[in-house]
Structure 1
Amino acid sequence: MLRAGYRPLTGAAPRGRGPALCDDRRMSTSGRRVGRPRAQQRPDTGMSPRQELLAAAAELFTTRGYTATTTRAVAERAGMRQASMYHYVGGKEDLLAELLESTVTPSLALAGKLLADTGRPAERRLWELCRADVALLCSEPHNLGVLYLLPEVRSDRFTSFRDARAGLKSAYAALLAATDAAAGLPPDELAVRTDLVFALIEAVILIPRPTAASLPTATADAALRITGAR
């Protein structure tokens, strides 16, 4: 999986339709108006069209590759026409941005709560963040974390994701600095330990879809051993 508190996409508003296009709003045999036809029939997932597009994009970006996936392929996989897709999202970059942010922002929100919970040992709070972060990265059907490695993610379009990820890493550093094991550490040593912990947590994206239920706990335990905390 990857890295809600994040802003939803607001794809381009649909343009008005003239009389020549009114067949998109046909009457059903029961007299009820029906929406734009789907490209193919798909089982009822209970998801909104936008959620279906995100699910389709997650599957195709992680299996076919982001560059090789067209907006037409995403729309068809979601069971709709390509033109209809733009009623819900702005395009392929918007889908990628939301998928990336979904792998970070829940952990960032949790980190804020853990930082404020100063009545408990920092070691315990750091362990909880590590465990929850790994569980999030492993929770999706498709390994969204591999999308971090795309060269496109370095562009300005994905600044929000990069900022959220940097904020999460800073929260790790703050919790680590509050542990007894970090007392007296020089800043450069603290930075090294933070880098090691953060790298360990995100390394789960390199495991081919881990299924072991114990992985989040085992990784959190290993992260604390790296810091020297008990």
Structure 2
Amino acid sequence: MTTSKRGRPRLTDRRRSGATPEEEILDAAAELFAANGFARTSTRAIAEAVGVRQASLYHHFATKDDILDSLLVRTVDTPLRLAHWLSASEHPAAQRLWAMAWFDAHQLLASKWNLGVLLQLPETRDPKFAQFFGKRSALRAAYVELARDVGGDLHARLPFHFVEAAIQLRVEEARWVADVGPAAVACGIADSVLRTVGYVGDVGGVRAGGAALLTEFENQ
């Protein structure tokens, strides 16, 4: 739970990116959670990374769990909004699935910190994060529906998990991802998703249509 209280003056000049103190705290926490794990990261360490007193952090987030919850939700909120938008679109199913897979993979690959690894933290299995997992389940269901529209039921559950492979790619193939570029890697994942569900048409044409869909979504 975030709060609206005003924090105490900071100890140092601004150290983190973010337009608000909450954004700065989330930026620091994302880096520390991804590098050190949730259990080994204290609120004191987060506060020090931001350059504020520990007490000031609690003016914005009541608990460390609330910080993690906010970060987890960020990994699915925009993809889920895109999924709902695509489900209402009348564009070809292959273009919609490609757009979904590219967007989701790209945000996992290109975000400042590898927030996807937070999904692998054992602490995230706690029922207190039920809201996040409810949203993640809704996103997975949206992938299944998009995949069914392209290739039926047989492999409809695979695309969601193909896209989440971007998390491990970023860990184990970091140099390759940097050299090739997140956009190109996301393109490869999205192309593979289409082939996996049985699409046999021209992928190049689907890419162009999917990219146009994403431009439309981002400009709405």
TM-score, normalisation: structure 1: 0.78
Does the 8 A contact of 1:100 with 1:148 survive in 2? yes
| Structure 1 residue 81 displacement after superposition | 0.2
Report the equivalent of 1:96.
68
Deviations 1:116-143 (A, max 9, x none): 00x2111110110000011111221211
Q: Secondary structure at the match of 1:178?
A: helix
Q: Deviations over 1:34-76 (max 9, x none)?
A: x733233334845211100000000100112111000000011
Contact 1:75-1:81 at 8 Å conserved across structures: yes
| Structure-1 separation of matches of 2:44 and 2:64 | 10
Q: CA deviation at 1:100?
A: 0.7
2:198 partner amino acid: G
The 3-state SS of whatever aligns with 2:157 is helix
Residue in structure 2 matched with residue 28 of structure 1 by the alignment: none
What residue in structure 2 maps to residue 54 of structure 1?
A: 26
Corresponding residue SS for 2:8:
coil
Consecutive unaligned residues of structure 2, counting only runs of 5 or more, are 202-220
Q: Where do 1:1-230 residues align within 5 Å?
A: 9-11=1-3, 36-43=8-15, 45=17, 47-117=19-89, 119-179=90-150, 181-182=151-152, 185=153, 189=154, 193-207=155-169, 208=171, 209=174, 210-211=177-178, 212=181, 213-229=183-199, 230=201
CA deviation after TM superposition for structure 1 residue 12, in Å = 7.6
- Tell me how far apart the structure 2 counterparts of residues 166 and 107 of structure 1 sit (CA, whole Å): 12
Quickly say closer, same or farther: Cα 1:171–1:46, change in 2 above 3 A: closer
SS in 1 for 2:156: helix
Aligned letter for 2:118?
L
User: The residue matched to 1:141 in structure 2 has which SS?
Assistant: coil
Three-state SS of the structure 2 residue aligned to 1:138 is helix
Could you give the per-residue CA deviations for residues 90-129 of structure 1, whole angstroms, max 9, x where no partner exists? Answer: 1211111111110111000000010000x21111101100
From the two aligned structures, give the one with the greater helix fraction: 2
Corresponding residue number in structure 2 for 1:26 = none
- CA change 1:174–1:73 in 2 (3 A) is same
**TM-score, normalised with respect to structure 2:** 0.81
Distance of 1:99 and 1:88 partners within structure 2: 14
- Taking a change above 3 Å as real, the CA distance of residues 127 and 147 of structure 1, as seen in their structure-2 partners, is same
Unaligned runs of at least 5 residues, structure 1: 1-8, 15-34
